[in-house]
Chains A and B, each alone.
Chain A
Amino acid sequence: MRRYLAARLLQSLIVVLLVTTISFFLIRLAPGDPFSFGGDIAMSPTVREHLRAEFGYDRPLLEQFARFLGNVVRFRLGYSLSMHGYVGSVILDVLPRTLLLMGVALALSFAVGIGLGVLQAWRRNSWVDRALSSVLLVFYSLPDFWLALIVLLVFAYWLPIFPAGGMIDLIMHDYMPLGERILDVLHHLVLPAFTLTLLSAAGIARYQRSALLEVLPQDFVRTARAKGLGERTVVFRHALRNALLPIITLVGLMLPSLIGGAFFVEKVFSWPGMGYVAANAIAARDYDLVTGTVVVGGIMVTLGSIVADLLYAIADPRLGAR
């Protein structure tokens, strides 16, 4: 177990290094640098050269890369011109908000998705199963930004039940007692979390249904049936326990798409998290901030997949015994 963990950590470290390398070179390969504005801003070549030299853009690419790596290790991700602060601290500011949104959405979508998938597998081939399959395929096919906008239109404008965006009530939040502040954040959280849940629960339910259907024809399930156990006990106590294992892997696999989805959902709902900040950074051509969010996003995904692997090792005694 310990050796497995060590190997897994080393592997992830290499992956993080590669993520950093890739994001550095992909962005440096693009034409221009932060000081080429394409005619938007007039800048004399002398000033431009001076700025390039000051920020090290005139150095050989390999030296730039070495400096970049050294800085990333020390979590110095550069200075954000649009947010007027160090990229590291900007990201540390917004990261908890994204984690809050993603954590809630992840928990909700796994609860809903597993529930629906089990229901489908339990009542397999009934009208419930068929209807849910159709509905889930539709939800599986919805574009995230479009669903977000429709949800916003319906629940914030046509039926003004929920706030139209942001994370807190900008005017009143500071005057609220703690309990009300939490409620305020939750009130703002409902729509984006609901949207993300709708989107990812569909995929999880489809996965859970087929995982359970894969387990049901196996021998130990037949044994359980032969013992005379009821269908409910067979499905929930015997089959489901084994069919939950692949779902843990799904957590790790889903993280990249969830971060990507959160990107659009955050933008539509102006949820001030990493995706929202990155979207604004793109508009502002804030290179360091864009690179920083990509690197931190990659690290988050890698960490997530380690956690998923560890959970799997804990949940599956066959793997833990090794």
Chain B
Amino acid sequence: MRKASVMSMKKNILSELLKFFLASVAIVSIFLFSFYGSGIALHFAMVGLTGAILAQGLNIFYGYCGQINFGSAGFFAIGGYGVALLEKYMHMPYFVSLILSVAIAGLIALLMTLPLLRLREYMLALGTLAFGLAIYETVSKGFTSYTGGEDGINMSKLKIFGTPVGDTFFFYVFLIATLLCLWVSYALRNSRTGRAMVSISQDEIAATSLGVNINKYLVQAFVLSGIIPALAGGLFVKWTGWCSPEYFSLKNSILILLAVVVGGTGSGIGAAMGGFMMFLLQEILVPLAIYEMLAYGVILCIFLLFMPRGIKGGITSFVKWLEGVSGR
């Protein structure tokens, strides 16, 4: 009995030390990076962070609740175009338009739950896919006199107290947004709501019989997985200064889904890692764009067949193995 508790203490100390070490390395490297990182490195980092935010949004609906959603890029577009249109036609300050467009995305997500959440499995996949496609068609071909069609909308540079801000400022904004989303998904996972969501992913009938109101939790999850990509969209288009429909094509919905699978389904930090890596990979692969599709297909199949828990699952089992070795 006593021996067991000593051993578990030892394990705890080890994994806490590991976590502390990783966290401090991350913080120090972020500071060094934001001061000494060159322009292109900052650019890559911000694309990666956008991916991390997007993947966490999907993770709440797909990872926690186990429901498929191919419409993430649609909400990404609503956030981006919301900011761009509010700036172009209403001349709103940036942060007001950001909050407003995120709220609009939440409202649209809430309305979309009325038809979409009657569906499950492949029908839900089709419904959300059609939603994403409809948004993409609207902004790229529909109301071209407002959205500029394939040319997109040019945005002004962000100014704070009259001085234009550079990439470093945006880097911190992206970082704070990512950490905020991470905190949301972490707090959610360890709350009553999050546990109810996970129970839905495991067995809907069993969850209902335990008094979980499935519909309520799915609505909450879907709205969250609409708001978070919209936030990413609002930040992303202002940073690039150009709101173009090509960011919001269906390919990105698939990429976000791929990111969650690669990072680790059902884990906030895993999804963030997956999103960061996949979007970074996409940005690095631009000169090799011809091999992109093949790479995505191979990655998706390898992870689904051999590593269904993703990178996060792999790290967790590695840490467990490490603890087992040191405990002996």
A and B are interacting partners? no
Residues of B within 8 A of A (CB): none
Residues of A within 8 A of B (CB): none
